[in-house]
Amino acid sequence: MNYERLDSDKKDILLIDDMANNLRVLSSLLAREGYNVRKALNWQMALTACQTVLPDLILLDIMMPEVDGYEVCQRLKAWELTADIPVIFISALDDVFDKVKAFRVGGVDYITKPFELEEVLVRVQNQLALRTAKLEIIKLNVELEQRVKQRTTELEKALQKLQGEIAYRQQLQSKLLDIALHDSLTGLPNRVLFIRRLEKALNRAKQQSDYQFAILYLDCDRFKVVNDSLGHLVGDELLLSISHRLQASLMSTDTLARLGGDEFAILLENPIDINQVIKVAELILKQLSLTFKLSRYEVFMNASIGIAWGNRDYERPEYVLRDADTAMYRAKALGRARYHVFDPVMYQEAIQLLELENDLRRAVARQEFIVYYQPIVSLITGRIAGFEALVRWQHPIRGLILPTEFIPVAEETGLINIINTWVLQSACQQLRSWQHHPAISETLTISVNLSARLFAQPNLIAQIDEIIDATKVNPANLELEITESVIMENRDAVKIVLQQLQEREIKLIMDDFGTGYSSLSYLHSFPLNGLKIDKSFVKRMQENQEDMGLVPAMIGIAESMGMRVIAEGVETIEQLALLRSLNCEFAQGYLFSKPIEQKSVINLLAAAPQW
Ligand code: C2E
Ligand code: MG
Ligand code: MG
């Protein structure tokens, strides 16, 4: 069925009346006015007409047989398609006409018969105009709705885009934040994030008396060696493995962070007590001591851990970290591969160390160092064969400070280079001036200790050459003492330097022999002239009369390698006798003389003591 209007220009009016005469009069009138008029004599015909084309207006007679006008109207109103078509009732005055009923069933107007043609036309035009306006409104409404719909979808789209953009920006921002707060290699929180978490923990501790926390500061002991010798890629691989092992040793509530380099920090929240924290440290140390099987190498590692127990009295999170760091340094100083728990005394000591460091810098600038000399005695002649130069620091307030106190600091800060070359220079100068003395033998030697740090200086040989040149000392009278660790830590480079020294006839002595871990096979391949037995062995020799400890073996080793032996720390006549009985060639110790000032040396030599 097609409900479209046939002629869209002409309005279509349906007349429903059982009186053919009425129909004819009305239809000719309306047709004359330019309307398209259709006629129906009863409900059935009206329905068919509507089903064919929907009229724009219906004129409906009330009094009809079978289905009357009211009923027709009701049916039309009940049908969705015709519900909106305006219905004007037509009624003869003698009908029992009920206007109210007419409106109630859906009529819009009424015309009484006999009708005035003018009136019919006006009422029809009115209703049609109303209907047109109504339809126009509906159309506009639909259009408006469509527009709104369209705008809404447009807006929705724009909104979606905007939301997408926002989400992207947020993602980007959190990514940036992530980068800023995490270590790129391990993905662990970095120092900034760690301090933030620490700050939270500290604030919580300040508010909640039952909340506690602790920090572990971890530094890998041999990481630099691995990194330098096997390369950064292997170093990175190792760091990753370390971080995995650390993570595996912790609970999910703990924060593990990489502070940089080979340093990690761990925040333990709500540990029961310090023992629980220590257990974590022990577990970590155990885990790290197992071999690391990397893609191309197997590597051994150890770590030193400092522990700080957090408490509400800390003003800033950084201070907790600082204390854990201090404790870590103590763990390193105590021999590495261990943990140490911070106690406030250590903070004082750390401060003192810092002061010492500052003082030391000043001391270098002000040349506050002096060299003491301790005789080395030939046990064959019983006479002084040489001196060992031992540096002291004449501190303006604290007085004389021994090297054991400041040399480690000097080494850590790099100041040792200046200090040590200065000692070498002064000792050589001194030897030269003594040799002018008639009472003093041409063969008198001077021994100078060389710090391991000096071997990292590329111009060490040039500096020594310069000193020899400037002081005119005979290099054959110069002995350089180096410790085992120097040789062992940097074998190849040190070997070359030692060879160059030996080419200049400078004597090379291994100091503190026995305290390190050198294997004899390595010793053998180094151009050494002598071994200095550490005083701890000389001391034990007497306690251990039957076998005299390791000293006989050490002397045997030196002999077999064609090296001379110097026994250090000889304090008693008994020790001297024992050493003599073992054919030890040289000895040094308080028995002969303590280290003395340069001006006392001439007197000592002039007295020509013999033991
Ligand atoms: P060292 O080279 O092993 O020097 C021997 C140390 O033992 C000296 O301590 C000496 O005073 C001490 N000593 C000598 N005889 C006896 C004794 O009979 N009994 C006891 N108990 N000790 C004795 P000092 O002068 O305190 O030097 C300590 C260390 O400082 C030296 O050990 C050396 O490693 C280092 N050192 C000293 N001067 C220098 C220097 O100019 N450069 C470098 N790099 N290190 C130096
Ligand atoms: Mg020495
Ligand atoms: Mg020594």
Name the residue with the closest Cα to ligand 1, atom 3: 512
Burial (CB count <10 Å: 0-12, 13-18, 19+), residue 578: buried
Contact 14, 25 (CB under 8 A): no
Q: What is the largest CA-CA distance in the chain?
A: 170
pLDDT < 70 stretches in the chain: 1-8, 93-96, 489-490, 516-521, 544-547
Name the amino acid, one letter, at 151.
Answer: R
Residues with CB under 6 A from ligand 1: 374, 390-391, 402-404, 407, 420, 423, 449-451, 481, 511-512, 535, 568-571, 588-590, 595
- Alpha-carbon distance of 464 to 506, in angstroms, equals 10
How many CB atoms within 10 Å of residue 158?
A: 10
Structure tokens at 477: 């009278």
Q: Which ligand is nearest to the CA of 534?
A: 3
Nearest residue to 500 via CA among 455, 446, 534 = 455
Nearest residue to 113 via CA among 73, 60, 66 = 60
- Alpha-carbon distance of 70 to 24, in angstroms, equals 22
> What pLDDT is stored for residue 67 in this prediction?
93
Name the residue with the closest Cα to ligand 1, atom 4: 390
Contact 390, 404 (CB under 8 A): no
- Alpha-carbon distance of 83 to 65, in angstroms, equals 23
| Gap from CA of 431 to ligand 3 centroid (Å) | 21
**Quick check: helix, strand or coil at residue 395?**
strand
Phi, psi torsion values for 361, nearest 5 degrees: -60, -45
Buried/exposed code over 296-321 (b: 16+ C-beta within 10 A; e: otherwise) = eeebebebbbbbbbbeeebeebebbb
> What pLDDT is stored for residue 1 in this prediction?
41
The distance from CA 558 to its chain's CA centroid, rounded to whole angstroms, is 52
Nearest residue to 579 via CA among 595, 558, 601 = 558
Burial (CB count <10 Å: 0-12, 13-18, 19+), residue 94: exposed
Name the residue with the closest Cα to ligand 1, atom 25: 390
Contact 487, 526 (CB under 8 A): yes
Contact 611, 579 (CB under 8 A): no
**Mutational pocket test of ligand 1: of 390, 485, 531, the residue with most ligand atoms within 8 Å of the beta carbon:** 390
| Gap from CA of 439 to ligand 2 centroid (Å) | 26
- Alpha-carbon distance of 611 to 607, in angstroms, equals 12
- Residues constituting the chain: 611
CA angle 474, 475, 477 (to 5 degrees): 75
> What pLDDT is stored for residue 8 in this prediction?
58
The distance from CA 294 to its chain's CA centroid, rounded to whole angstroms, is 23
> What pLDDT is stored for residue 71 in this prediction?
95
The kind and range of the H/E element at 50 are: helix 43-52
Name the amino acid, one letter, at 417.
Answer: N
Structure tokens at 518: 């050198």
pTM above 0.75, yes or no: no
- Alpha-carbon distance of 541 to 575, in angstroms, equals 7
| Gap from CA of 585 to ligand 1 centroid (Å) | 20
pLDDT per position as a tens digit, 160-178 = 999 999 999 999 888 888 8
| Gap from CA of 184 to ligand 3 centroid (Å) | 46
Which atom from ligand 1 is nearest to the alpha carbon of 423? 41
- Alpha-carbon distance of 380 to 235, in angstroms, equals 53
Q: Which residues contact 489 (CB under 8 A, 6 or more apart)?
A: 225, 452
Q: Quick check: bond before 552 cis, omega within 30?
A: no
> What pLDDT is stored for residue 519 in this prediction?
65
| Gap from CA of 475 to ligand 3 centroid (Å) | 22
Adjacent-strand bridge partners of 569: none
Structure tokens at 57: 């207006």
> What pLDDT is stored for residue 100 in this prediction?
86
189: which DSSP letter?
B
Task: Note the helical H segments in 484-597.
Answer: 484-489, 491-503, 520-524, 535-543, 551-560, 573-581
What is the β-pairing status of strands 263-269 and 255-260? antiparallel
- Alpha-carbon distance of 330 to 344, in angstroms, equals 13
- Alpha-carbon distance of 536 to 569, in angstroms, equals 8
Q: Which ligand is nearest to the CA of 571?
A: 1
Name the residue with the closest Cα to ligand 1, atom 21: 569
- Alpha-carbon distance of 351 to 111, in angstroms, equals 114
Contact 150, 62 (CB under 8 A): no
| Gap from CA of 89 to ligand 3 centroid (Å) | 133
- Alpha-carbon distance of 62 to 69, in angstroms, equals 4
How many CB atoms within 10 Å of residue 562?
A: 9
How many CB atoms within 10 Å of residue 174?
A: 10
Q: Which ligand is nearest to the CA of 512?
A: 3
- Alpha-carbon distance of 429 to 416, in angstroms, equals 19
- Alpha-carbon distance of 304 to 316, in angstroms, equals 24
252: which DSSP letter?
T
Which atom from ligand 1 is nearest to the alpha carbon of 391? 38
